[in-house]
Chains A and B, each alone.
Chain A
Amino acid sequence: MAPSTDSSALSDVSLPEKDAEKANRLSSERIAEEGSEKAVAGAIHSKLLSIRDKKKKSLCCYLMGGMSSDWQDIARAIENGGADIIEIGLPFSDPMIDGPVIQHASKVSLDSGNSPMSAIDSISNLDMSIPVVVMTYYNIIYRAGLYRMAGRMAAAGVSGSIIADLPVEEAGSWVATAGDAGIENIMLVAPTTSLDRTKVICDTSRGFVYCVGTMGVTGERDELPTSAKEVAAKVKSVTDKPALVGIGVSTPSQATSVCAIADGVILGSAIVRRVLEGENARGIENFVRLLRNAIDSL
């Protein structure tokens, strides 16, 4: 993290509590400034920008670390199928934004003797050529210690993080620590997020902005929620950073539809369910290729 003289001056001031909101605003602006300075450098950000420059859309696929004995083969299959980014879930006992499919995958992973750290350490064995993002909950990071976790991720070759329950107000420490280790922390914008708030989140987010496609937990849906395109449009109205839509996108046609506006899509439960149902690496590779071809046909 770049030493910032004005920020240390700010933190030295003992703020009266009634000024807390002012401090909040100040810090958001400050995070935003530093964010935009640093965000250009990351592997995820530059890859997604170059895809957009070629008028293409990005595909990010999610897999829970340790959810099956062949999960590492499946991770490679996701790359071979044509994903631009892979998102690896670190298992947590209480995944509150996840629906039944990913909850179950998390439980299977833990019950098989995996831990968040063992999943991270396995990532270096995957030898992926596409950027790896880890997705988890803040207690996993807090318990390990922010500095230790960031170092461990970086050592395993992780490029980014998504912390589901870490909103922008609480994210400062992790954004800084992860940034120092070269990890781009990706923030979420929801359909209900106000425009002012969306600006602050987009400025703080590194790599890309995760547009939550629907008000709900992770899981497949028959219809693409109307909010999926709306949230992407909202994000794109305030930032140049890539806007990828996840949660609520489950099929090639839904992915194509949302990519009319978004810079890309994130699919999780549609893949995790197939793995839980016993689909092997070849089957997952075929599914990812379907997604790839669908969004490339745009």
Chain B
Amino acid sequence: MRMALSMQETMGASFDLPDNTKSGFGVMGDPGSAGRYGEYGGRYVPEPLMTACLELEEEFRSAWADPDFHNQLDSILSYYAGRPTPVTECARLSERIGVRVLLKREDLAHTGSHKINNVTGQALLARRMGKSRLIAETGAGQHGVATATAAAFMGMECTVFMGEVDTLRQELNVFRMELLGANVVAVKSGSRTLKDAVNEALREWVSTCENTHYCVGSVMGPHPYPWIVRELQRVVGDEARDQCRQILNGQDPDWVVACVGGGSNAAGTFAGFVDTSSNLVGVEAAGGAAIAHGIPGVLHGMLSNLLQDDSGQILEAESISAGLDYPGIGPEHAHLASVGRARYEYADDEEVVRAFCQLSELEGIIPALESAHAVAWVVREAGKAIPFGSTVLITLSGRGDKDVSQVRDILRSSQSAGSQSTDLQSGGSQSGGSQSGGSQSGVAQDKVQAG
């Protein structure tokens, strides 16, 4: 990777202004007109989309500096979306794993995830630009549902692009979007998952950008999207920091952990803590770990870490959670990783299902499978990377209702597979297991046997 980057710099040294290698105003600040986060980011779109991207950047700069826009947004987030969301202390999980766990409860926001923060802001922005229609890509369906919701609430048309594979995995969310008045397009190109839904949404946007706003769902895509979405999700981190300081007598948590697909809930969370001494950790799906296994490249308008082969073909990400099945990662995360301000880990499907069950049983909170990745990493690393006695804030990005039937099927099939089932449901990974009595796995086990 370094070779490719340095080669580009060398070859372009006398030619390559604007200085695309300089990021904007400090870490997690304004990425400047080139939209760079260190060497990552930028705006790699076909010329037909450039004007729309430039107009959007200009409009966002003006809106974000406009107190009226903020008042309007804050007001909708409060009376409609249910903000602020609480921070919940997890007494039983904390006792079990030996670190103090706090959850930022984005699962309690309207539509069941943090996605509403972003779409509310973008829908307002679209209306400000005189656009009457929203389009969006979705993986698990959370962003699609949120976009359909904002469109319904604001009286706009909405079309959501969803990989055909995901429409089958998440058929309830498809119906939910249709109930909300959206048109859902099952994308049959490529791997028929999230990355292909993004391609299709971009294609649609090329021919409709005059009246249509593309409501990108994560901190990805061409500039200004990674910046807009991070700023609109910043509310998660800003609230959480103040709430943690109240709970922790003015202290910040030692660790701040969030799951990462494209990385919007993590970016919003980190934005609130980047200037504190908290350790920041993003947890990717093992099958979509763009930081651990990716190589810098250009996809969907951005330069970031991507899963790709030697010839530059994009590989398919594979995980249990449709929302994390993305072969890239937001460019600012690639930058935070490269400068060492945040670290990026991954969790595999098995430990994610365990964490899903564990949080449900111990705390009465059923997490989205995406969010369960963050929980799984904390459970695994308690007493290892995370010293016993530490305080950890996990952003619980969404609720798990959409995943219940999928997890039921997984537990049933692992049950019928025999010996594996105890591993799947045992309250923990190796580290958790030594401290756990084993009773926490009982409920899930009973359900499975009853089923």
**Complex: A172 Cα to B9 Cα, angstroms:** 10
**Complex: A115 Cα to B297 Cα, angstroms:** 17
Please give, as numbers and ranges, the residues of chain A lying within 8 Å of B22 by CB-CB distance. 15, 17
Please give, as numbers and ranges, the residues of chain A lying within 8 Å of B207 by CB-CB distance. 214-217
* Cross-chain contact A193 with B50 (CB below 8 angstroms): yes
* Chain A minimum-CB-distance residue to B34: A20
* Chain B minimum-CB-distance residue to A167: B50
Please give, as numbers and ranges, the residues of chain A lying within 8 Å of B43 by CB-CB distance. 167, 169-170
* Cross-chain contact A172 with B15 (CB below 8 angstroms): yes
* Cross-chain contact A24 with B33 (CB below 8 angstroms): yes
**Complex: A20 Cα to B23 Cα, angstroms:** 10
CB < 8 Å neighbour of A138 from B9, B44, B306, B314: B44
Scoring B42, B45, B310, B313 by chain A CB atoms within 10 A of each residue's CB, the highest score goes to: B313
**Complex: A194 Cα to B52 Cα, angstroms:** 11
Minimal beta-carbon separation of B305 from chain A (angstroms): 12
Is B246 part of the binding interface, using a Cβ–Cβ cutoff of 8 Å?
A: no
Scoring A7, A31, A190, A191 by chain B CB atoms within 10 A of each residue's CB, the highest score goes to: A190
* Cross-chain contact A192 with B12 (CB below 8 angstroms): no
A143-B312, A145-B4, A172-B17 given; A177·B11 CB < 8 A: yes
Is A236 part of the binding interface, using a Cβ–Cβ cutoff of 8 Å?
A: no
Is B298 part of the binding interface, using a Cβ–Cβ cutoff of 8 Å?
A: yes
Please give, as numbers and ranges, the residues of chain A lying within 8 Å of B203 by CB-CB distance. 96-97, 99, 217
CB < 8 Å neighbour of B17 from A27, A146, A167, A192: A27
**Complex: A31 Cα to B4 Cα, angstroms:** 23
Is B308 part of the binding interface, using a Cβ–Cβ cutoff of 8 Å?
A: yes
Minimal beta-carbon separation of B357 from chain A (angstroms): 36
Is B250 part of the binding interface, using a Cβ–Cβ cutoff of 8 Å?
A: no
A1-B14, A3-B14 given; A96·B46 CB < 8 A: yes
Scoring B43, B50, B189 by chain A CB atoms within 10 A of each residue's CB, the highest score goes to: B50
* Cross-chain contact B206 with A143 (CB below 8 angstroms): no
Q: Which residues in window 1-55 of A have CB below 8 A to B?
A: 1, 3-4, 7-8, 10-11, 15, 17, 20-21, 23-24, 26-27, 30-31, 34
Bitwise, A187-204 to B at CB < 8 A (1) or not (0) is 111111110010001000
Bitwise, A145-188 to B at CB < 8 A (1) or not (0) is 11100000000000000001111011011111100100000011
**Complex: A147 Cα to B4 Cα, angstroms:** 9
* Chain A minimum-CB-distance residue to B35: A169
Please give, as numbers and ranges, the residues of chain A lying within 8 Å of B12 by CB-CB distance. 146, 172-174, 176-177
* Cross-chain contact A146 with B314 (CB below 8 angstroms): no
CB < 8 Å neighbour of A212 from B7, B30, B48, B297: B48
* Cross-chain contact B14 with A8 (CB below 8 angstroms): yes
Bitwise, B331-364 to A at CB < 8 A (1) or not (0) is 0000000000000000000000000000000000
**Complex: A30 Cα to B8 Cα, angstroms:** 19
Scoring A10, A23, A189 by chain B CB atoms within 10 A of each residue's CB, the highest score goes to: A23
**Complex: A225 Cα to B4 Cα, angstroms:** 40
Is A71 part of the binding interface, using a Cβ–Cβ cutoff of 8 Å?
A: no
Minimal beta-carbon separation of A62 from chain B (angstroms): 15
* Cross-chain contact A139 with B297 (CB below 8 angstroms): yes
Please give, as numbers and ranges, the residues of chain A lying within 8 Å of B199 by CB-CB distance. 94-96
Is B172 part of the binding interface, using a Cβ–Cβ cutoff of 8 Å?
A: no
**Complex: A166 Cα to B50 Cα, angstroms:** 10
* Cross-chain contact A201 with B47 (CB below 8 angstroms): yes
Q: Which residues in window 116-140 of A have CB below 8 A to B?
A: 116-117, 137-140
* Cross-chain contact B25 with A17 (CB below 8 angstroms): yes
* Cross-chain contact A165 with B33 (CB below 8 angstroms): no
* Chain A minimum-CB-distance residue to B6: A145
**Complex: A174 Cα to B8 Cα, angstroms:** 8
Please give, as numbers and ranges, the residues of chain A lying within 8 Å of B313 by CB-CB distance. 92-93, 110, 115
* Chain A minimum-CB-distance residue to B207: A216
* Cross-chain contact A23 with B14 (CB below 8 angstroms): no
* Cross-chain contact B314 with A93 (CB below 8 angstroms): yes
Q: Which residues in window 17-37 of B have CB below 8 A to A?
A: 17-20, 22, 24-25, 30, 32-34
**Complex: A164 Cα to B44 Cα, angstroms:** 9
Please give, as numbers and ranges, the residues of chain A lying within 8 Å of B45 by CB-CB distance. 165, 167
Scoring A1, A24, A96 by chain B CB atoms within 10 A of each residue's CB, the highest score goes to: A96
CB < 8 Å neighbour of A11 from B17, B25, B46, B299: B17
* Chain A minimum-CB-distance residue to B36: A20
Please give, as numbers and ranges, the residues of chain B lying within 8 Å of A1 by CB-CB distance. 14-15
Please give, as numbers and ranges, the residues of chain A lying within 8 Å of B20 by CB-CB distance. 169-170
Minimal beta-carbon separation of B3 from chain A (angstroms): 7
* Cross-chain contact A215 with B308 (CB below 8 angstroms): no
* Cross-chain contact B52 with A192 (CB below 8 angstroms): yes
A169-B43, A176-B15 given; A143·B51 CB < 8 A: no
Minimal beta-carbon separation of B11 from chain A (angstroms): 4
Please give, as numbers and ranges, the residues of chain A lying within 8 Å of B34 by CB-CB distance. 20, 24, 169
**Complex: A193 Cα to B28 Cα, angstroms:** 31
Q: Which residues in window 188-225 of B have CB below 8 A to A?
A: 189-190, 195-196, 199, 202-203, 206-207, 209-210
Is A144 part of the binding interface, using a Cβ–Cβ cutoff of 8 Å?
A: yes
A142-B4, A165-B298, A173-B8 given; A97·B311 CB < 8 A: no
* Cross-chain contact A172 with B16 (CB below 8 angstroms): yes
Please give, as numbers and ranges, the residues of chain B lying within 8 Å of A100 by CB-CB distance. 189
Minimal beta-carbon separation of B33 from chain A (angstroms): 5
User: Which A residues have a C-beta under 8 Å from some C-beta of B?
Assistant: 1, 3-4, 7-8, 10-11, 15, 17, 20-21, 23-24, 26-27, 30-31, 34, 92-97, 99-100, 103, 107, 110, 115-117, 137-147, 164-167, 169-170, 172-177, 180, 187-194, 197, 201, 212, 214-217
Given A17-B25, A146-B12, A170-B42, 10 other A-B contacts at CB below 8 A?
A23-B17, A24-B33, A27-B17, A139-B298, A167-B43, A177-B12, A192-B48, A215-B207, A215-B210, A217-B207
Q: 4 closest Cβ contacts across the A-B interface?
A: A173-B12, A143-B312, A27-B17, A190-B48
* Interchain residue pairs with CB less than 8 A apart (24): A8-B14, A20-B18, A20-B33, A23-B19, A24-B34, A93-B190, A94-B314, A96-B300, A110-B313, A139-B298, A142-B303, A143-B4, A165-B298, A167-B44, A167-B50, A169-B20, A175-B15, A176-B11, A189-B47, A190-B46, A190-B50, A192-B50, A192-B209, A193-B47
